[in-house]
Every structure is written in C-alpha cells, then in structure tokens.
Amino acid sequence: MSKRTSMWLVGLIALALGLVIGSQLNGFLSGGSDDAQMASSQGMSDVPVYQSGPFKVSVAVNPEAPKVGENKLMVKVMDAHGNPVEDANIQAFGEMSAMGVMQAMRAPANVKQVAPGEYAGPMNIEMSGEWPLSVKIEKPGAGETALSFDMATGRAGLSMISGGTMVELAAEGMASQGSEPTYRAGPFKFDVAVEPETPKIGKNRLIIDLHDSQGNPIPGAQIKAIAEMPAMGAMPAMQAPAAFDETEPGKYVGTLDLSVSGEWPLSIQIEKAGIGSQRITFDMATGRSGLQVVSGAMAEGQSGMQAEEAPANAILVDSRSRQLIGLETGAATYRHLTRDIRAVGQVVYDERKLSDVTLRFNAWIGELYADYVGKYVNKGEVLFTVYGPELLAAQQQYLEVLKGRFGQSSGLIEAARKRLLLWDMAPSQIEELEQRGEPLDYVPIMAPRSGTVVEKNVVIGSAMMAGTRLMRIADLSKVWVEAEVYEAELPLVKVGMAAVVTLPYVPGKIYQAKVDYVYPYLQGMTRTGRIRLTLNNQDGVLKPDMYAQVNLKVYLGQRLVVPEEAVLFAGESRIVFEDFGGGRLAPRKVRTGVRNEGYIEIVEGLEPGDKIVTSGNFLIASEARLKTGIEQW
C-alpha cells in the first residue's frame, strides 16, 4: 500500500469518528429535545389553562396518573397575550405531609426549558399516596406567581387548589382568551374575577362577564353578591355586600369592602327574567390568590361530578388538608343488621307445675311426714295425717249407707262416696274403708304431684281452718326465667324468638331457650315489659330467685347504614358530611335508627352509594361552622 493511500484511509476514518462524536455532542448539548417532544406530544392540548398572576399556565404530568418512581412534569407558560415566556425560573415539587412518626417527604421536579415557553423535567415519587404539587414561576421583568394542585399516585390528572383561575382549555396550542366563559351554572355561563387577584383588607373589585348558553352577553341581569365571615366566639358575623353596575352589555362590576383578614366565603346570586336564577358560592380569603368554586357551578370542560350538585353550605378541603387531618371517606351501603337486646331476669317457678295442699274442712295435724321445706315427694306419697270431726262423720255415714244398701238407693251411696272424694280421700283409701268397716280417726293426705316442698305451714298438732294452704309443692324439672325489656325494644321481641341465658351463679354455662310469652302490660315504675322463657332443670342447678342475663338477637334485615364515626351528634340533630368530589364537602342532616357492630342505620337523608366522610369529620365540622355558620349546629 502506497503512502498516499494510507494517508487517505486515515483521513476517512478520522472524518467518520468526527461525525459520530459531533452527533453525540450535539445531542448532549441539546439534551432537552426528548423532553420537548414529550411535552408537545403528551397531550398538553387537553390541559386546562389557568390565569395565574401575569401568566397563563398549563401543567401536566406524564403518565397522566402519577406512579411510584419517575414521572415527567410539564409546564407551559405564556404571557397575557398568549406568547411563550422563555427563560422563566420554575421551581416545582410534590410533598407528602407528615403522618404520625413519618416525616414529610418531597419529590422535587428538575424542570428545565425544552422549547420556547415549554418546560419539563423528571419528578421521582417514592411511595403511593397524596402528593400535593406546588409550582412557582418567576420571570425577571414580568413577575412571579405560585400555583397548587391536587395530585396523587394512581389518580389521573391534576386539580387546581389555589393560585389560578381556569380561563380556557388549550386547543391546537393556545386558544384566544375569552372565547368561552369560565363557569357554567344552570342557564348561565360566566367569568368571575376579583381585583386584586389576591383579595386584601379594604376595597376589592368583583368583575362578572355573564352569557347565555349560546355564549351571548346577558344585559339587564340582577346580580347580588355578599362575602360573609361567620361569627366566631364573641365576634359577630360580618358581611361585605357588593352593589353591581353594568359597565357594558353582560359585564358587571362591583366592590367588596373586606374589613378584616381571614376567610370570606362569597355567595353570588344571578337572576334574569325569562332565563332563570342561580346561586353560586366561592371559597375566598384575604392573602390567597383567586376564587375557588364551591357549589352551584362547574368549570367549562370540567369532568366528573358536577358542582351544581353540592349544596350552598359546602366547604372546600384540599388534598393537603385532607391528608393532615386524616380525612377518610366511605359510602352509604345496605347491610344485614341484627340488634342485640340484653335484659335482666330472674328464675321463678313454672306456675303450671305448682300444687297447693289445702283441706276443705277444719282439722288437726297428726303425723307429719313431709316435715321440712325442700323435701322431695312423689305423687301419692303421704304428706301428713289429719283428724277432722266432719271427715270422721262422713266416713261413718258412708259405712252406714253401705250396710243398708239393699234398702237404699244407689244415688245415696254415690253421694256419700263423692263427699269423701271431695274431702281429699283417695279412691284407694275409700276401698280400704269399705273393707275395714270402720272409720279412720287420722286420715293420710297424699301429695297431689311429684316435686319439692317449697312451702310448709304446719307442724304436728297444728289446728287448721278449712281452705288454709298447708303446703306448696313445685316441680322444678322445668323453671321459668322472667326478664324485663325496655319499652322501646319491646316491639322487637316476638314469641318463639331464640334467646341465650346466662347466670352469674353458673359461670360459663349457657342455656338455649325461646321466648314463650310476652306479657301484655308494662311495669309502671320501670317502664319495662316482661317476657318469659322456659329452661330445663333436670339437674336442679337452677333455683328460683336466681338472677339471670337474657340476650336476644333480633334480625332486622337489610338496612342502609354508615360507619358510626361518620355521624356527628349535635343536640337532637344528626349530621354527616357528604363528599361531592373536587374537595367539596357539605353537611347533611340525617335521621338515624339502630346501631349494630360499628354501623348505624340511616332512616332518612342519604341514598345508597352516597359518599360520606368517615374519619376526621370533627375537624371538618369545625371548618364548616367557621365558614358557613350552619344552622344545624
């Protein structure tokens, strides 16, 4: 190979290396080209444009539903005329607030300019959850502004919290401002703004551009606006009304005079004959930029639950505040409910198994065999013997009738026999009398049933009058438990309902029973009703006058319920906070029913599926009192 040829090959190789290195260096020096392509192709045309200070701003994240790991944050900045704002200084970060022992975490975004007015950079999110996004924009000579957005992993899109007012949806780049009003409320479309953008103590201008559904200006409307700081402690409520002048067709300007710093929820009433009327409320405060719609209207192009559905006394709670106070939500659902009824009872005799021993004649006690209370006797067993002149005479008369029976009618014999039977002589004793042929002085009295002697009023030699109760015998193989049930719970108790009975005297022993009877009256002093159950007592463990605990389980079927902690008690009122989406919460008065296993029945005030606050509602209630002065409280 000649020297010239070698030199030619070396030059060719050097040229190729130069081209490769130059290409890589050019890519390095213009490293934002990928971000620029992503920013323009990701769909910024579908992102809302916000007026924030001197700028028009669009903010988006890729992926649209932020994930744990690396995400791309994209910001588009323009001036009031829609021209790109170059070389702005943008600081942005997502922040997860501290929770318990866990410290707050930040996810800063390294945002750099990738094209005229377009900025992008990575944002690394360490864990799933709420990461409210803060964006600060500064351009020397033009001004600065700050915006806050609601952002969370797994949830698509960003929602404005503060610092900006949506003026349009970007379409094919940036559409001209004012082509469509910002908000829609019933038959109206309107823009609303406050000057200065951050309300201050003193006079502030309120400007409303009002249009019909077709976008035509509406002249001659009646507009009333009032900002009200509710009463706090000894400080009375303060109002700042605004009187409006129509400066041009469909444009109305008024003045709000705010006397102190703080929260001034703003209510606007729009009325036009032949079209209709609408009330809209906004969240407004001194020192905080812009107005945030709370109820009565929704932003043009806004998706999700319409803000018209939120009542006028709704409040706005951003995601950062939700996280700080531990706010959680749930839904009103149908659930099978049971109700436990606890009643105190007492063991008593089964009245159907009681027998009294009495005499139908005056008598004296001879021998006493059932000689102590508690003795068990069998039916037909001799309890004691008695002497009675009348019984002795009846025996003698019967024998005389028998002896002369061939000359006597059978009716006399039967009458004499029946008299002995009625005077407690057993048929066997009468047969023995017939065989013996002479009366007994002391006649044995038999036990009428098997059981335990629970009462004894005689001793040997006692003289007893006819009709006096001498003994009481109880069959304790079955006993009753009579329990007292509160008047309000009594309608739930039915005959045949299963019950569980326990006794302090017999710990660990559970008796299964059923309700035998519900007494048809109340105890006047205690306002309780009495129910009765029957228990087997073959082993004799249960003894009359023992205390018992009766537990009844009432099956109520499916009922609409919410967690108990979702309901606030305010005097006779019951309040829940309904979540209308977009950070809007509103108190709702409900009527409650039974409680069961951590749930409470909603009889009136909610529908299945309604989303309500289940945790953190005490702090929400305080906020609601402060901002709206709710009448229910």
pLDDT digits (tens, 9 = 90+) for 361-416: 999 999 999 999 999 999 999 999 999 999 999 999 888 888 875 455 677 888 88
For residue 98, give the DSSP letter. Answer: P
Residue 562, pLDDT above cutoff 70: yes
Average pLDDT on 573-585 reads 84
User: Does any domain span residue 516?
Assistant: no
Burial 300-316 (b: 16+ CB within 10 A, else e): bebeeeebbebbebbbb
Residue 425 or residue 298, greater confidence: 425
- Assess whether 84 and 39 both reside in one domain: yes
Answer whether residue 491 is part of any domain.
no
pLDDT of 15 over the 60 cut = no
Structure tokens at 424: 């407690």
Q: Is 135 helix (H, G, I), strand (E, B) or coil?
A: strand
Print the domain residue range for 196: 180-308
Task: Tell me which of 144, 174, 204 is where a domain ends.
Answer: 174
Asked if the structure places residue 519 within a domain, the reply is no
Give the pLDDT of residue 320. 64
Confidence (pLDDT) at 379: 94
In the chain, the number of structural domains is 5
pLDDT tens digits for range 61-103 = 999 899 999 999 999 999 988 899 999 999 999 998 877 677 8
Residue-wise pLDDT for 170-194, tens only, equals 433 333 334 445 788 888 999 999 9
pLDDT of residue 454: 96
Is the model's pTM score more than 0.75? no
* Residue 594: strand pairing partners: none
Any idea what DSSP says for residue 157?
S
Coil, helix or strand at residue 59: strand
Mean pLDDT of 227-252: 85
Which residue is associated with the tokens 């606007």? 268
Q: Environment class of residue 389 by beta-carbon count within 10 Å: exposed (0-12), middle (13-18) or buried (19+)?
A: exposed
| Closest listed residue to residue 82, CA positions, set 177, 182, 191, 180 | 177
Q: Is residue 53 part of a domain?
A: yes
- If one counts every other C-beta atom within 10 angstroms of the C-beta of residue 10, the result is 10
Distance, in Å, from the CA atom of 629 to the CA atom of 229, rounded to the nearest integer, reads: 9
Residue 470 lies in a domain: yes
Q: Write the CB contacts of 294 (distance below 8 Å, at least 6 apart in sequence).
A: 265, 281, 282, 283, 307, 310, 314, 315, 316, 584
pLDDT at 249 over 80: yes
CA 633, CA 626: separation in Å to the nearest integer? 11
The pair of structure tokens assigned to 76 is: 């588009």
- For residues 440 and 399, membership in a common domain is answered with yes
In the predicted structure, residue 470 carries a pLDDT above the cut 80: yes
Is residue 623 in some structural domain?
yes
* Residue 153 lies inside a defined structural domain of this protein: yes
